[in-house]
A and B are shown apart, each in its own frame.
Chain A
Amino acid sequence: MTTVVRDDLSDAHRRSLAHVVSPGARLTGEQRRRIAEVAIEAYLSAAPTPPWVRPFGDPALDLAYRLGRHAGTITKDWYEQIVTEGMHPVEWVEVVGVVIAALPPVAFARAIGAPLPALPPAVPGPPTGREADELAPARLNFVPVAAPADRMPSVVQALSAVPDDWNNLWQLAEAQYMSDRAMDDPLWNRGTLSRPQMELVAGRLSLIRECFF
C-alpha cells in the first residue's frame, strides 16, 4: 500500500527536522542533532533504561532520553538538580524544543507504517543567541518564559524563552492538529475526523501518557 500524506503535513515534518539540526539559541546544530538522536532512540527502544537512570552522565542527553521515553516522570526537583549541575534554564527549554521537534515525524511515520525519517546532517555554525528579549519566572511552568509570565496558558508560554523552537512547535501543531484560529470552533475538521474524534485520539493518548493536558 502506498500511503499518501498531506503535503502540508509532510512539509511541516520536513521543516521540523531541518530545524532540529540547525544552530539554536544556545546549542550548535551538531549538539541538537545528537540530542534528537538520543530522544528518538529512547522513544523507540525495546528495552529502555528506567526513568531514574541517567544513561549518559550528560545533562542535555539525559534530559533528552527521559523526555523521549519517560516524560511523565520529570519533576521540578529533577529540573532544579540539572540546573544546579550547570545547565542554564534556557538550555533546558531548548533541549525540550529539540526533542519535541524530532519526535513527531518519527511517531507519525511509525503510526502509519512508513519508513522512519532520517535526521539531516547538522548545519554548521555557532548558536544564534536568539532568546526572548526578557525572561520571567513563571507560576504555571517550572521553566522561565518570555516576560510577562502567565498571561497565556502554560503550554503556550512553555517554549517562549526560545522563539525559534516556539515557532516550530506551532507550525507542527497547525499541520498535525489545527491552527490557533480553529481551536475555538468545535465543528472544525479537515473532512476526515470530526473534532470530537480528534479529541478522542488526543485524550486517549494523553491519558496513557499520564498527562492531564
Chain B
Amino acid sequence: MLSWSSHEDGTPADVLALASGDGDAGLPHGAALMAFAEAIAGWDDTVLAGARARLVAEAGEAFMIDAAAVAANFEMMTRVADGTGAQHAPDVMTRVVGLAEALGMAAPHADGPP
C-alpha cells in the first residue's frame, strides 16, 4: 500500500525504510511519523511524549491526531490478523513474499495458517 500510494501520489517512498526506521522514507515528516509509530508500538511513555511533541512541532496537532488514529487502527488490524490466523491468498502471496524477505520478516505462509 505504501509503495502503490506513494507512486500514485508522485512521492515514491523508500519501502525498505520501514524495516530500519531510519530516515524519512522519502516522505514529508517521514522521520517524525516513523518515530511516532515506533513509540506507540513501544512501552516507554517518555519516548512517546517526545515523539508526539516532535510531530506536533513539525506538522501540527491535527496531523498528530490523525497519525495516532492510523496507529490505533493498526493496533487493531494486526490483532485481527494474528488472532484469526489470517493469511494472504496464494495469488497475493507471490507478490508479497519477496517484500517480506526484504523487510527482514518471516515469509508469510501460502498454504494456510501456521
- Chain A residues with CB under 8 Å of chain B are 1, 3-6, 9, 46, 63, 67, 71-72, 74-76, 79, 93, 96, 99-100, 103-105, 107-108, 110-113, 139-143, 150, 153-155, 158-159, 169, 172-173, 175-177, 186-187, 190, 192-213
User: In the complex the two chains form, is A104's CB within 8 Å of B72's CB?
Assistant: yes
User: In the complex the two chains form, is B38's CB within 8 Å of A208's CB?
Assistant: yes
User: In the complex the two chains form, is B105's CB within 8 Å of A210's CB?
Assistant: yes
Q: A1, A79, A141, A187 — which one has the most chain B CB atoms within 10 A of its CB?
A: A141
> A67 and B4 in contact (CB under 8 A), knowing A209-B41, A212-B108?
no
Minimum distance in angstroms from A213 CB to a CB of chain B? 4
A176-B83 Cα distance, complex, nearest whole Å: 20
- For A190, give the chain B residue with the smallest CB separation: B66
Binding site secondary structure of chain A: helix
User: In the complex the two chains form, is B80's CB within 8 Å of A96's CB?
Assistant: yes
User: In the complex the two chains form, is B5's CB within 8 Å of A195's CB?
Assistant: yes
User: In the complex the two chains form, is B18's CB within 8 Å of A207's CB?
Assistant: yes
Residues of chain A within 8 A (CB-CB) of B63 are: 192-193
- For A108, give the chain B residue with the smallest CB separation: B72
Q: Which residue of the partner chain, among A4, A103, A155, A200, contacts B81 with CB atoms under 8 Å?
A: A155
Interface residues of B in 30-55 (CB under 8 A from A): 30, 33-34, 36-38, 40-43, 45, 48-49, 52
Which 5 A-B pairs give the minimum distances between C-beta atoms?
Answer: A142-B85, A186-B8, A111-B68, A176-B73, A154-B86
User: In the complex the two chains form, is B71's CB within 8 Å of A111's CB?
Assistant: yes
User: In the complex the two chains form, is B48's CB within 8 Å of A111's CB?
Assistant: yes
User: In the complex the two chains form, is A199's CB within 8 Å of B114's CB?
Assistant: no
User: In the complex the two chains form, is A173's CB within 8 Å of B73's CB?
Assistant: yes
User: In the complex the two chains form, is A158's CB within 8 Å of B81's CB?
Assistant: yes
Binding site secondary structure of chain B: helix
A104-B38 Cα distance, complex, nearest whole Å: 16
User: In the complex the two chains form, is A201's CB within 8 Å of B89's CB?
Assistant: no
Residues of chain B within 8 A (CB-CB) of A207 are: 18-19, 103, 105
- For A173, give the chain B residue with the smallest CB separation: B73
User: In the complex the two chains form, is B41's CB within 8 Å of A176's CB?
Assistant: no
Residues of chain A within 8 A (CB-CB) of B19 are: 207
User: In the complex the two chains form, is A141's CB within 8 Å of B105's CB?
Assistant: no
Q: A9, A108, A201 — which one has the most chain B CB atoms within 10 A of its CB?
A: A201
> A197 and B33 in contact (CB under 8 A), knowing A173-B77, A203-B18?
yes
User: In the complex the two chains form, is B48's CB within 8 Å of A200's CB?
Assistant: no
Chain B, residues 58-76, CB within 8 Å of chain A (1/0): the string is 0111111111111111111
17 contacting pairs across A/B (C-beta < 8 A): A1-B61, A71-B78, A74-B85, A108-B68, A141-B113, A169-B80, A176-B73, A177-B69, A177-B70, A194-B11, A194-B27, A197-B29, A197-B67, A202-B71, A203-B15, A211-B82, A213-B78
